[in-house]
Chain A
Amino acid sequence: MSAAKPANNSMRYDLQIIASWIDPGSHVLDLGCGSGELLKFLINNKQVTGSGIELEEDKVATCIEKGLTVLQGDINEEVPDYPDQTFDYVILSQTLQQVYEPDTLIRAIMRIGKRGIVSFPNFSHWACRLQLLCSGYAPVTKQLPYQWYNTPNIRVITIKDFRKFIDDVGLKILNEVAINTHSQNRYGKIIRFLPNMRATYGIFLIGNKQV
């Protein structure tokens, strides 16, 4: 597994790593692109072409004002419209844990893109495990700061779970990095020893088996 070298430290740390995986000049789709931080970086520094999908009007408008191509909509509804293999990379960062049908979405991503990049908060981080073990309450952490009844993070995913999931749906992991960072933080570090226990986020590059 190749180590990722953060590309630039003005972005959220997981986005820096994602950016480092993207080949210059590629065609990219960023699902849940927010205010377009990653897209803008990729266009300016890696000459990519691409677009984003974002649900919130404010963020969509910010993107378009910046000169990005962004569609307002729900990723689950928007992804199926694209023709097969439209993109070199389809990015889903810190969103998978909020998706109602992750398997459907991941399959759709791998239909429209040659490769997928997925990052998510790791639910098996030691802090989560410890809270559940000691207190008996559902864990509340900096990465997953909600109560069970108001969390948008309806999917509990661990790094190990994700690896198994990718195998179950017949896809292949091409690269993975576990990192320790906070959700909006620009700084973080790569975790190589016991990542499922020590990393707060997992980032995966996935492809179809024949790729």
Chain B
Amino acid sequence: MSEYIEHDKEGISVGLVEKKLFTFAAPPDEMVLENGAKLGPITIAYETYGTLNPDKSNVVLILHALSGDSHAAGYYRNESEKPGWWDIMVGPGKGIDTHKYFVVCSNIIGSCMGSTGPCSVNPKTVQPYALDFPVVTIGDMVAAQKALMDHLGIEKILCVVGGSIGGMQVLEWIVRYPDMVVSAIPLATTTKHSALAIAFNEVARQAIMADPNWNNGNYYYGPKPNLGLAVARMIGHITYLSDESMRLKFGRRLQDKSDFSFNFDADFQVESYLRYQGKKFVDRFDANSFLYITKAGDYYDMEKLYGEGSAVKAFSKAKAKFLVVSFTSDWLYPTYQSKAMVKAMKKNGLDVSFCEIVAEWGHDAFLIPNVRLTTLLRGFLERVCRETRK
């Protein structure tokens, strides 16, 4: 996911919010990960907006994509700073209405945004984990989120919503804890990455690992692999856009010049944009986290994990009602992947709605203000909320 964070045009916001931390799995009760390794203690960063109702039936759990964090909406200090990454969708009267729902946005293990990840201190060595951090999976991330829900006393989640790798967590939730999830909104996501998606992730990882500063992951006390991480981010940004959006946004326009410089400076606006995005990213993101989270995305195969290779069998464990949304210009998580999910849900007799939104902004479309997406989410949430009251 990318950085389109915008202030709400009407100035509507949940206001000031606070990042909270929950720590569990302290030794000797470490969490056993999917690969058999043990991890603990584990900290999960999360935020909540709105009020939990007395019967705890209004919980909406938001799961973020690769580079996101728990800060989905509102501001930490004052309204002049950038709001949370999905502020356009989450707030009073918005698509995910904080007047009605108790919204939880959970960070993931492996991240560098407050939860335990490769840049956290390993209690055994009192040094950052770096590559000693175990390879975590989407399933591990969800297991940790489940521990957070238990901690919050939440037994039923009205809706689990997320896009991209966040959407993979949504899918994991609905099969891992089918009795907990009333409804789910997997946005611009898939049950398993295509070769194309894995290929781009691998090139991005190679860019990081080829940076001499990466030093096998041990860079926390020295110069960071900023060049590698910036290139990785640039690759990511290409995949989040589309041919159409890049043509409209940049075309072949030059950046602050009327002719080519005949050297290797950023001549084109698209070059300048990618360099800027790359540079901005290294200030806030850890290169090792990038490696771990992209690997978790690439490893995820819901069909293999839960259906012996069959999507239909995998979804037979699900009980939730679904709203599946894809975007026409998304070539990273193309519509055919969403349709395959929908087909498997139908074959299981699940309640599923599906809409392919015409959008030129590629994979990132779900982060950009989109009236259609907002009204779809609002309508779907209102319905599932109404139906649980019956």
Contact = CB atoms under 8 A, between A and B. Distances in A.
A86 B353 CA distance: 17
Contact of A82 (B323, B347, B378, B379): B347
Interface string A165-205: 00000000000000000000000000000000000000000
Interface stretch (B106-114, B162-170, B248-256, B380-388): B380-388
A66 B372 CA distance: 13
A65 B339 contact: no
Given A57-B357, A81-B343, 5 more contacts: A57-B355, A64-B376, A65-B375, A68-B383, A69-B353
Contacts of B346: 71, 78, 81-82
A193 B102 CA distance: 61
Nearest to B346: A81
Interface in A56-87: 57, 60-61, 63-73, 78, 81-83, 86
Nearest to A58: B372
B353 A57 contact: no
Given A71-B342, A71-B352, A73-B339, A64 B357 contact: no
Contacts, number: 60
Given A82-B346, A83-B347, A86-B349, A64 B355 contact: yes
A51 interface: yes
Given A67-B383, A67-B386, A83-B349, A60 B355 contact: yes
Interface string A94-110: 00000000000000000
B356 interface: yes
Nearest to A63: B353
Interface in B342-390: 342-343, 346-347, 349, 351-358, 372, 375-376, 378-380, 382-383, 386
Nearest to B323: A64
Contacts of B323: 64
Contacts of B379: 64-67
B321 to A, nearest CB: 8
Given A66-B379, A67-B383, A67-B386, A61 B351 contact: no
Interface of A: 51, 57, 60-61, 63-73, 78, 81-83, 86
Contacts of B342: 71
25 contacts: A51-B352, A57-B355, A57-B358, A57-B372, A60-B353, A61-B372, A61-B376, A64-B323, A64-B353, A64-B355, A64-B376, A65-B375, A65-B376, A65-B379, A67-B379, A67-B383, A68-B383, A69-B351, A70-B353, A71-B353, A72-B354, A72-B355, A73-B354, A83-B347, A83-B349
Range of interface residues on B (Cβ < 8 Å): 20 to 34
Contacts of B375: 61, 65
Contacts of A61: 355, 357, 372, 375-376
Contacts of A64: 323, 353, 355, 376, 379-380
Contacts of A57: 355-358, 372
A61 B352 CA distance: 13
A121 to B, nearest CB: 29
Closest 3 pairs between A and B when the two form their complex, measured CB to CB = A67-B383, A65-B379, A81-B346
A66 B382 CA distance: 9
Contacts of B383: 67-68
Contacts of A65: 375-376, 378-379
A60 B382 CA distance: 17
B29 to A, nearest CB: 42
A51 B345 CA distance: 13
A51 B354 contact: no
Given A64-B323, A81-B343, A86-B349, A71 B354 contact: yes
Contacts of B355: 57, 60-61, 64, 72
Contacts of B351: 51, 69
A202 B2 CA distance: 54
Contacts of B339: 73
Contacts of B343: 81
A77 to B, nearest CB: 9
A9 to B, nearest CB: 26
A75 to B, nearest CB: 13
B191 to A, nearest CB: 16
